[in-house]
């Protein structure tokens, strides 16, 4: 999933992560009207900036003690550390774009494309605030009935911050990995109280099953969950299996991990600590698996199977993912929203793996979720 949102860092960033790659010239903000189905919305072009901003929050309003500021620090630090871990493995640097939006906020997008290990890897962090139409609010909450039959209710004031990433390796024995952690607020509006919640998770999508890899990946996140609430792993693992279901296929996108959304059942500081622990264990859960398989030999048939599984990835993201839907309905930055798409994918007509094959085993695990730890 991909709610591409972002917040500010509380300390000055070093020039090493500044806009060191090729800079794009600033664009003028151009607001035009277009129709999407029956919905009219304003399409807003982002404005590229030539430096990494210290913060994208509102000076003097979103102060250090606010959850907005605390969460931004977490995701800005995580973007730096995770990108470094991926660069250390791949040997190629991320390209970076920094941008702002006229309605409020902006983002920092980092993409490693055509690398030595990854065909495409992106780590986006952004902050978006302003107002959104009711249909975008429903997409953000996942409640399609929310605010219906309310008459002319106008636009909902909101704030959304987060980090989102998808990584597609070259080698079909190396799994794709996705993570997303976010914080969302709405202000009191039209008699509806303001709300806040956290969401996110980390999940893995291999083309072939290596049980030791799955035990490692799920084991890391079980340990993270157990540190904060012993009920979390079982609950969030099940939630992940249910969320990443491609309904029209009757199969999951991959082999799961943890996923949670609309989480506000504890005080925000407690949930922030859990979210921080989870995002800070992405590299520990994923990089050892890549190291293990990045130099494995593979056949043309195995590469083709990887392409077919990537096709499933595309189907889920474009049809079902709440973050993608939210981004498109709020006029978000298209390059960031669709960063999760692989460079290459395939759809073969009526492809069916041979019974007893490794491909059939993967497909069975996607249809019938397994317990790995």
Residues with a known catalytic role: 178
How many residues are recorded in the chain? 373
- Residue 268: both structure tokens together: 């925000």
DSSP label of 113: E
CA 123 – CA 112 distance, rounded (Å): 9
Residues in a beta bridge with 169: 118
Closest to 283 measured CA to CA, from 93, 86, 111, 117? 86
CA dihedral of residues 121, 54, 333, 131 (deg, nearest 10): 140
Helices 134-141 and 322-329: crossing angle, nearest 10°? 160
Report the alpha-carbon distance of residue 269 to residue 250 in Å, rounded: 38
Using CA atoms, how far apart are residues 161 and 122, in angstroms rounded to an integer? 17
- Measured between alpha carbons, how far apart are the two ends of the chain, in Å? 24
Using CA of residue 356, residue 361, residue 366, residue 371, what is the dihedral sign? positive
Token pair 């202000």: residue: 187
- Tell me the three-class secondary structure of 154-192, residue by residue: CCEEEEEEEEEEEEEECCCCCCEEEEEEEEEEECCECCE
């Amino acid at each position: 999933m991909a709610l591409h949102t972002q917040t500010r860092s509380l300390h000055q960033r070093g020039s090493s992560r500044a806009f060191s790659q090729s800079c794009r010239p600033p664009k003028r903000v151009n607001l035009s009207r277009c129709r999407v189905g029956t919905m009219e919305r304003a399409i807003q072009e982002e404005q590229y900036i030539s430096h990494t901003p210290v913060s994208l929050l509102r000076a003097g309003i979103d102060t250090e003690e606010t959850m907005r500021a605390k969460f931004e620090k977490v995701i800005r630090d995580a973007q730096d550390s995770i990108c470094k871990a991926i660069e250390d493995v791949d040997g190629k640097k991320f390209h970076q774009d920094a941008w702002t939006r006229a309605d409020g906020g902006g983002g920092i997008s980092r993409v490693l494309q055509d690398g030595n290990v990854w065909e495409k890897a992106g780590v986006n962090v952004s902050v978006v605030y302003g107002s959104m139409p009711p249909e975008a609010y429903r997409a953000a909450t996942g409640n399609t009935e929310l605010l219906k039959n309310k008459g002319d209710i106008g636009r909902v004031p909101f704030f959304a911050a987060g980090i989102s990433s998808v990584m597609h390796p070259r080698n079909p024995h190396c799994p794709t990995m996705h993570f997303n952690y976010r914080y969302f607020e709405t202000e009191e509006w039209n008699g509806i109280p303001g709300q806040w919640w956290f969401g996110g998770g980390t999940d893995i999508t291999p083309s072939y099953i290596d049980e030791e890899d799955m035990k490692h990946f799920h084991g890391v996140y079980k340990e993270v969950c157990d540190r904060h609430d012993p009920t979390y792993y079982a609950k969030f693992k099940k939630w992940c299996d249910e969320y990443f279901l491609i309904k029209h296929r009757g199969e999951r996108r991959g082999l799961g991990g943890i996923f949670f959304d609309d989480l506000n059942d504890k005080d925000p500081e407690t949930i922030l600590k859990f979210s921080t622990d989870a995002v800070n264990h992405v590299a520990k859960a994923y990089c050892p698996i890549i190291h293990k398989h990045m130099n494995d030999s593979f056949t043309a048939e195995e590469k083709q199977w990887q392409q077919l599984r990537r096709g499933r990835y595309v189907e889920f993201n474009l049809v079902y993912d709440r973050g993608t839907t939210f981004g498109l309905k709020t006029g978000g930055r298209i390059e960031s929203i669709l960063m999760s798409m692989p460079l290459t994918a395939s759809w073969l007509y009526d492809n069916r793996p041979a019974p007893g094959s490794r491909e059939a085993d993967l497909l069975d695990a996607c249809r019938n979720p397994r317990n790995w730890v």
